[in-house]
Amino acid sequence: MLAQAVGRIGLGLGTQSLPVVVNALRRFSSDGVDELKKALSELIPEQQERLKALKKNYGGKSLGEVTVDMAIGGMRGIPGMLWETSLLDPEEGIRFRGLSIPDLQAQLPSAVPGGQPIPEGLLWLLLTGKVPTKEQAASVTEELRERSHLGPHVLKVLNSLPDDAHPMSQLSVGVMALQSGSHFAAAYTRGTHKSKYWETVYEDSMDLIAKLPQLAAMIYRRTYKGGVQIHPHHTLDWAANLAYMMGYEDAGCHEMMRMYQTIHSDHEGGNVSAHTTHLVGSALSDPYLSYAAGMNGLAGPLHGLANQEVLRWLKDLTAKLGPHPEKDAVRKYVEDTLASGKVVPGYGHAVLRKTDPRYTCQREFAQKYMPDYPLFKLVSNLYEVVPEVLGKTGKIKNPWPNVDAHSGVLLQYYGITEENYYTVLFGVSRALGVLAQGVWSRALGLPIERPKSMTMGTLEKRFAAAAAAAPAAK
């Protein structure tokens, strides 16, 4: 590991400044290749051969029929993308490189004995498909720490936004402020051979993942804590450092953040944030551009922003019905939500058909750390009422809770009460999955994405003509 130089930079905060790790020497020197990149580079040739064989042997096989309903219904159920880092089963939920959430908890290295996995271990797993040793996960922590420097312009850019800029807009703008440092964009301009694209995409992805906790904490502190920034802690792991820089030192909060950042990371490729990152990256837009685009999708209330919406909905429910509402009153509240033409946030899913295992994982955490917390009890009670009401509509395909139904409770318990910020924490985690896949997309040379669109007229003509040509039924 090359030596780190510790410097101080102004952040546009008058007399305040942050100590940062300045990493001027290690990038791209031949002996500076980090352990994870080395492991990845050894895997890439065999995976390239695997894809070649897949195309050669099965390229002409059909993956099924596409109906008009699917084309106009948000492409639901159309298999149309490769995504290596995770896979979603409608009944069982997510598996990260084949491992369920309980598997991750059992197998990935943790910061405390028997504790939650550290996301650095998950990143190793997502990139290599292999469970890292404790030392390998620690090497990722170290690598990210070395890359975590944020230039002083980032806070200046954020400070130029209106006071009421949503934290997700700040995240997107902050990431774009970092884009000028893209190694991939520079390498492309230099004319790098396409077989080398993945290398600078990896560098950008690691840089971005490293900087996100500081960026996210900066957004939190300038929005809610009067702009007083907290220096990174140079011995904490990536997720705990995020909580620490936000202003939370509680060991339970650090464990919660490790778990939170692990389980929100990836949910196969078709969801809006993952698909957007993938689509934009397929045009060879660099990881900053493609991840920022994905974050703008995550900021939608039917996707990641639902975690914010859940809290607003719960607060409104509590304001109207009190902190310990009767089940019948809750039932009526849910029915009123539906009758007013709104969705019940935190429930339903486009693919899942059972309770989201990410919900279950957070519930288990709450049972362990906050069993008597009133908001946890309320969320548990909702589980007994909401699915039944949603099920009665007859149209909602999955009446069960998703990840967003529970995450806010944990954050509230540890004092992170500003719900408009919650999607930023989701977004930091999502970087692990979408950027890891982005590295593989370039390593495998996946092409620019370009599905076919149709007009209503084309569909009408095509099927009206077929109906007219069909023999009349007797």
> Which residues contact ligand COA by CB under 6 A?
302-303, 306, 338, 343-350, 390, 395-398, 402-404
Active-site option among 264, 275, 303, 406: 303
Return the number of the residue (128 or 420) whose C-beta is nearest ligand COA.
420
Report in angstroms how near the CB of residue 76 gets to ligand COA at its nearest: 6
CA 380 to chain CA centroid, Å, is: 25
Q: Using CB positions, name the residue nearest to ligand COA.
A: 348
Between 77 and 152, CB nearer to ligand COA: 77
Closer to ligand COA at the Cβ: 184 or 347? 347
DSSP-assigned letters across all residues of 205-252: HHHHHHHHHHHHHHHHHHHHSTT---PPPTTS-HHHHHHHHHT---HH
What's the one-letter identity of residue 297? G
Tokens describing residue 359: 């919900």
149 is catalytic: no
Residue 437 φ then ψ, to 5°: -65, -35
CA dihedral 168, 172, 178, 182 (to 10 degrees): 140
Q: Report the alpha-carbon angle 380-300-125, nearest 5.
A: 75
In the chain, what are the helix, strand and coil shares in percent, each to the nearest 5?
A: 60, 5, 35
Calculate helix-pair angle for 422-443, 119-128, nearest 10 degrees.
Answer: 30
Shortest Å distance, C-beta 409 to ligand COA = 15
Quick check: is 204 catalytic? no
Beta-bridged to residue 99, according to DSSP, are: 96
Among candidate residues 264, 267, 349, 406, the one labeled active-site is 349
Instruction: Based on the residue annotation, tell me whether 349 is a catalytic residue of this protein.
Output: yes
Nearer to ligand COA, 25 or 75 (CB): 75
The 3-class secondary structure across 436-447, one letter per residue, is HHHHHHHHCCCC
Q: Is the CB of 285 or the CB of 402 nearer to ligand COA? A: 402
DSSP, residue by residue, 311-364: HHHHHHHHHHH-SS--HHHHHHHHHHHHHTT---TTB--SS--S--HHHHHHHH
Instruction: Please identify which of the residues 34, 254, 404, 406 carries the catalytic annotation.
Output: 404
Query: Between 231 and 353, whose beta carbon lies closer to ligand COA?
Result: 353
Residue 394 gets which letter from DSSP?
Answer: S
Q: Which residues does the annotation mark as catalytic?
A: 303, 349, 404
